[in-house]
Each structure stands twice: as C-alpha cells, then as structure tokens.
Structure 1
Amino acid sequence: MKLLDLHTHSSYSDGTYAPAALVDLALRKGLYGLSITDHDCVDGIGEAIEYAKDKNIVFIPGIEFSCFYGNEEIHILGYNIDHRYAPLLEITRVLRNARLDRALKIIEKLNVMGFEISFDDMQKYNLNSVGRPHIALALVEKGYSHSVQETFEKYLSRGMPAYVERYKLLAQDAIRLIHESGGMSVIAHPYLIKNQNCIEALAAMGIDGLEVYHSSHSQSNVKRYTYMARRLGLCITGGSDFHGRDSDFDFFGRIGIKLDELDSKIINK
C-alpha cells in the first residue's frame, strides 16, 4: 500500500523534528509520500526538498494557514505550492511577526498573573517560531502546570486569562494565495469545525479539497466527509497532523491517504 501523510509539522513551526529528520522518520515508517505543512510558514520547505530529492519518497511542499470565516476559525492546507512565490513569503512574514507579538503579549499577561517566565524560556524549544505550545512547555518545566493540555485549559485557550487573539487571514484570502502560488487548497480536519455549514461555503468559494483522513476522525467521520467531498466535488486528502509528541506516534505511518485515492494535481504540477 502506497500511503502518503499530507499533514505534518516541523521545528519551523510547532513540531519537534527538523525537516530532514521528519523525512527520515517518514522513510522508516515506510511512507510513500510526505508533506510538511507548517503553520503559516514555508521556511522549512526548501530544506526538505533538497534532502528528499535523492531519497525513495515523494515530497510535496505544503503549508497550513490559520484563517477566519465569519466567527469560525478554519485551517486551510495548501499543497504543491511555490514556496518561493513572493506574495506568499510576504504574507508568511506578516503572520510570523503577528505570532511573535502575540507570544510577547501572552508572556506579559502571565507575568502580571505572577508567573516568572520570559521570552528566552521559549527559544530553547524553538528558535524559528514561538507559539502557545512553547509557552505551555515552559510553564510545565517551571512547575506551574502538570501538562501542556492542563496549561491550555487553565490559561491559554480562548476565554482563559492569558489568551490573546492573533491576526489571521480571511479564508478567501488564503484560498486565493494558495491558488496564485500554483497550489491546491484543502480544508483541514473538518470534524474540528464547529459550524459545519462553513464547509459548503468554502466549497462555493473555490476550495479544492477536504481532509477526510485525520487523527481526530473516527471511521464514521471518514465516511461522512468522504460522502460530503464527493457531493461537493472536492478531492480528498489525509494526514496524521504529526508534531512529534509522544501520542503522535500512534498515528504517524498509519493515518494518511492512499496514492490511488489522491488527486494527481496534489502531487504533479
């Protein structure tokens, strides 16, 4: 079986593996293909392409945009993008700066709450991108919380005392940018979308696909979204959403999409 994992994150966003190490791990797991879809970031794509070119694996350049459609947060994956496309690089620069600004504001809130934590505490986890997962790790290490999940539930999730809203693209702008960069746009982990009507709206807006296979999806979810994709004329994709956490290894190498189910435009220009 030729399986591709089209949803993974490297150390250039909130993953723990460098791009080359992630390619090596995919090879050890026997994957036919891999896409690195870092959050709002393509900085690791060139490194992965160069490393994978003489390996027995298909590598697909990707990205995962955090977007808004109305009041709903939507994640949109882009595949087979030109990672050197200037407007794409400019948007990722803006989003990276917004992520940094958000992290600094969260740290400031935590300091006011009495937590002794600084930006330097985050950078040992990731020099490329600092986000809430890294702040949560620092709080756990300093003994302020028992786990990353507990930290999010108590302090960092929406509505919690240290939460700070972050600038995000509008969904229609993400779709347009992915298309302009030569790529295919796909709704990520649709089960996590609260307002399911958004899926049809995004299909009408020109989205190309739906991530049917995902580590958060049950078999009934897979059947439901396969039917929905066919009804809406969308291609289907799949991936584990691997970040390198211990629990992620239950899915990496097992959750993805078979080559014969995949739209050829995801792989070929």
Structure 2
Amino acid sequence: MNQKNQVSKDTLPDRARYDLHMHSTASDGMNTPKELVRLAAERGLKGMALTDHDTVAGVQEAAEEAELVGLEFVPGIEISTRAGEKDIHVLGYFVNPADGLFLERLAGLRGIRDQRNDLILQRLRELGVDITLDEVKDRGGRPLKPGESVGRPHMADVLVRKGYAVDLRDAFDRYLAEGAAAYVTPPRITPAQAADWIREAGGVPVLAHPGLYGDDELVREVIEAAKVIGIEVRHPDHDAAGEERYREIANEYELITTAGSDYHGVRQGVVFHGELGAYVVGEGVVNALRSARFPTESRSHSDR
C-alpha cells in the first residue's frame, strides 16, 4: 500500500498518458469500472487499462464508458500465480474478454480464490478473530455480481470495521500479508501457464510489480519460463533503485517497460497502492504492446 496522493508530472516521449494497472469493484477495487474511466478522463489521461484480479467482468462496462468519454481503453487482467513459494502476478493486455475458453479458465481461478478465502477465514477463527464470508462478500453494502471476486482487501475492511485492526496496513501486517498469522494460499497455476492463457486469448503477458517479490533471481526465472513480453518497471511500491534495476533487466531480456498505479481506490482514508494517473506510460508503449499480440481465433462455448 502507498499513500501517494499527487499525480506525478512525468516527462514522457509523447504527451499522451496511459495508466495500465488498476482495479474496480469487479475484483478488489473501490470504484466501479465506469467510475474509474471517468476518473481517468478527469485526470487528463489519454487511455487506461482495467486489470482486475482473475476476472474480466468489468471490462465491457469500462469499454462502453471509455467510448462515451473519448478515452482509449485497453482490456486487461491480472492473473494470480505461484512460483518459488511466492505469489506472482501476471498482467495481460488486449485480451479478448469474450473468449470462451479464457472465461472458463478464469472461473476456475476464482474457485481457487474462494478456497483461499475459506482457508484464511478458518485460520482467523483459530486466532480468535470472528469474521464471516458473508461479511466479506457484502463489501460494504455492494454484494457480488456474477463473475466478480473478493480478496484480502475486503477482509481487511471487515477486520478494521470490527476492531481487529487499526487500519488496512495493520490488518495486512498482522493477519493477511504473505507470512502473516492468517496468510495461506492453495496451489495455483504457474506464471508460464498464465502467460500461455493470456496469449491464447489474444493478449500480451507482462510481469507485474517485480519489486514486491523480493527475489530478483526468481524474477529472472519467471521471465524466462513465462516468456513475458514486458515488465512493470514503474509502480508505487518500487523505489528509484528498484526502477533502475528492472529497467536493466528489461533491457537485458528486450522487454517492453510498463507502468501503472495499481489503483484500488480509497479505503479507510488511504489510497490503496498508488493514485490513479500517478504512474503512466506514453502512447509508444501501448502501441508496442498492441503490436506484440499473438493472432488468435475468437472462441465461445459453442466452439468447444
């Protein structure tokens, strides 16, 4: 999490600005897809990508609103994987949100996410922390819609609301972060599998926020195994030294360098990760990602 509230004034090779990492209420964000598009337009962005966790349920709403306000929209996703005993996230850009096989695969991932939620809640109960799945799914009065998912930020909200934690940071540090008292994760797909799924859905795989993994050797292993096209160099949880390190790795592997705020909205008065529009790329990066797409035929359930 990060409390940066000011949009940076980065000098880019072109003046068009794109934020390529954010989350809506379709996963663990606080804003609807439509609200994110409006916020991006208000902040002078030329375009944005919606990258919800393991779901594309918000993509259509965001795309329709982007067309209305004249914003360029990139359909995206962030897939949860596991490698080297670490949770690794793989971003996918320009995926086909109507690809039937992709949708089936994502439904399976959300099933794994549901298993994880149950295991975390069980661990919390063992620790004397009484929160229920219904409270988590309620999401402050906005129940789940089909294809949407809940995650640890929703649990953190409940922990704070019921007095088990002072704020979101405390909730994660004490209970929910990797290595914390209630953290648990079931078996997940590998980054290479996620990258293959993204490619097969017509998209471009990019390694998300490598600095969060705390293991640059693992980052290299993932890059080589998954054959990602890009790496997220600028992110709210990367310091200047980290950015420079990942630029060097990008150059070494000839990867596209991307950036994104990882905006989840405002919880308990705190911006979760970075402020929307604070970490951006120019139009050239978006065009490079678009050009890197693998051609694929659209699938539907009737095709299978």
Matched, 1:242 2:253: no
Aligned match of 1:33: 47
Distance 1:216 1:158, change over 3 A: closer
Aligned-pair identity in percent equals: 35
Counterpart secondary structure, 1:8: coil
Question: The residue matched to 1:34 in structure 2 has which SS?
Answer: strand
CA distances 1:139-175 after superposition (whole Å, capped 9, x unpaired):
1111122112112222223343322213422111011
The answer as to whether partners of 2:27 and 2:55 remain within 8 angstroms in 1 is: yes
Deviation at 1:86, TM superposition (A): 1.7
RMSD: 1.9
- 1:183 is aligned to 203
Alpha-carbon separation, structure 1, partners of 2:215 and 2:243: 18
Q: 1:251 aligns to what SS in structure 2?
A: coil
Higher mean alpha-carbon deviation, 243-252 vs 170-179, is at: 243-252
* Residue among 70, 89, 93 paired with 1:56: 70
Q: Which residue is 2:230 aligned to?
A: 209
Which consecutive unaligned segments of at least 5 residues does structure 2 have? 1-14, 294-304
Instruction: State the Cα deviation string for residues 197-224 of structure 1 (Å, max 9, x = none).
Output: 2333333332100111111122333232
- Give the aligned residue type for 1:74: I
Change (3 A) 1:182 1:97: same
- TM-score w.r.t. the length of structure 1 is 0.92
Whole-angstrom CA distance in 2 between matches of 1:25 and 1:194: 32
Q: Quick check: which one's strand share is greater?
A: 1
> Is this contact kept in 2: 1:72–1:194, CA < 8 A?
no
- Per the alignment, residue 228 of structure 1 pairs with 249
- Rounded to whole Å, the distance in 1 between the matches of 2:251 and 2:221 is 15
C-alpha distance in 2 between matches for 1:160 and 1:251 = 26
Q: Which amino acid aligns with 2:281?
A: I
Q: Higher RCO, 1 or 2 (CA under 8 Å, sep at least 6)?
A: 2
Secondary structure of the structure 2 residue equivalent to 1:186: strand
Corresponding position of 1:192: 212
- Counterpart Cα distance in 1 of 2:237 and 2:89: 14
Is 1:254 aligned with 2:278? yes
Amino acid at match of 1:195: D
Equivalent of 1:219 in 226, 240, 257: 240
Alignment of 1:110-121 (within 5 A): 110-121=124-135
Contact 1:72–1:195 (CA under 8 A) maintained in structure 2? no
1:102 and 1:199, CA in 2 relative to 1: closer, same or farther beyond 3 A?
closer
Please give the secondary structure, in 1, of the residue aligned with 2:102: helix
Q: Does 1:107 align with 2:130?
A: no
CA distance in 2: counterparts of 1:173 and 1:95, whole angstroms: 12
Alpha-carbon distance change, 170 to 244 in structure 1, aligned in 2, over 3 angstroms: same
> 1:250, CA displacement in angstroms?
5.9
Question: How far apart, in 1, do the equivalents of 2:85 and 2:123 lie?
Answer: 24
Length-normalised TM-score, structure 2: 0.82
C-alpha distance 160-249 of structure 1, shift in aligned 2 (>3 A): closer
Q: Is the 8 A contact 2:262 2:273 kept in 1?
A: no
The whole-number CA distance in structure 2 between the counterparts of 1:216 and 1:189 is 8
* 2:157 alignment partner AA: L
More displaced stretch, 251-260 vs 135-144:
251-260
Count of equivalent residues: 268
